[in-house]
Structures are given as C-alpha cells and as structure tokens.
Amino acid sequence: MVILDLFRSVLDEAPVAIVVTDAVVERPGPTILYANTAFGRLTGRAPCDVIGLTPRFMHGRDTRRAVLDQFAIALKACERFHGFLTNYRADGSRYVVEIDCRPLTDTSGRLTNFIAFEREVVRRRGRPAVGASGRFEPVEESHDSLTTILPGMNLFKS
C-alpha cells in the first residue's frame, strides 16, 4: 500500500466529515477534490458525486451571507476559518454545520489546497453561552469542539 492510499483509508473512515478542495478562491472555485464517507452522510450525497462541485451546493435560503463573506475573506487571506452555517442536504433537509477549514501549503509555503473538518451541530438548549461555539452542541457523542480536538490529532502546527 503506498502512503497516499494509507492516508486515504484513514480519512475515508474518520468519524468527522472531511472535504478537500483546490486552492482556487474565485468563483466558480473552489472545487472539491476529495470527500470522505462521513461527509457523504452529512450532506446526503455519495462522496464520489460531490467531486468536481463547489461546496456552495450546500447553500440555501437560510445560509447566512454574512458568515459566507467571513469565510471568503479567510480563504482569500489564506487563513483558517471556523464557524457555523446552515446548509441543505440532497433531500432538501436543513442542518447546522460546524466548519473548521484550513489552508494547506507545500514545503515552499505555496497554498495548494483547503481542507475542512465538518460536523452537524444543534442549538444548545437553555441560556446560550457566549459566542457561536457556546450556542451549538454536536449531534454526535463527543461534545469537545472541533477546535479542541484537532490539535490533539497533531495534524497541524497550531
């Protein structure tokens, strides 16, 4: 098994939804190059069916433009984006997704791709804690925020 196949098999089975795009931030980019099984479950589409699409296919009426604008600013600045968006599945059902999107660079520091870790969240009941992270909780078992989990996976420098 070559190293790329090894990485792919780890990503394919990861419990968190993972999507990788190219680095083209101007429309119609970015284009999806890879999506794992959990991303298929999240979006209600087969991972192979989203290859070649822009992640905008998940947008809909309640997807907040203000958050997308922050997203676009971060991508253009080659910076990380962490936020919450309302998205839509293939069957039209709506969900709130927590997204941690990071730029990937080659050894010379040139931007090559973006990778996003995503999971469905629901609005926390009761008095919301301060900030967007406090207002939502994951629908699945782990209540750690993505931002807390990812550094522990030692995938990134910070």
Ligand X SMILES: Cc1cc2nc3c(=O)[nH]c(=O)nc-3n(C[C@H](O)[C@H](O)[C@H](O)COP(=O)(O)O)c2cc1C
Binding site residues, ligand X, CB under 6 A: 19, 21, 27, 30, 54-56, 58-59, 63, 68, 71-72, 75, 85, 87, 97, 99, 101, 114, 116, 118
Q: What is the DSSP string of 50-99?
A: HTTS-GGGG--TTS-HHHHHHHHHHHHTT--EEEEEEEE-TTS-EEEEEE
Measured from the CB atom, the residue of 52 and 126 that comes closer to ligand X is 52
Measured from the CB atom, the residue of 68 and 149 that comes closer to ligand X is 68
Closest contact distance (angstroms) between CB of 144 and ligand X is: 20
Q: Where do we find the tokens 């997204």?
A: 99
Closest contact distance (angstroms) between CB of 126 and ligand X is: 27
Closest contact distance (angstroms) between CB of 145 and ligand X is: 17
Backbone angles phi, psi at 25, to 5 degrees: -90, -20
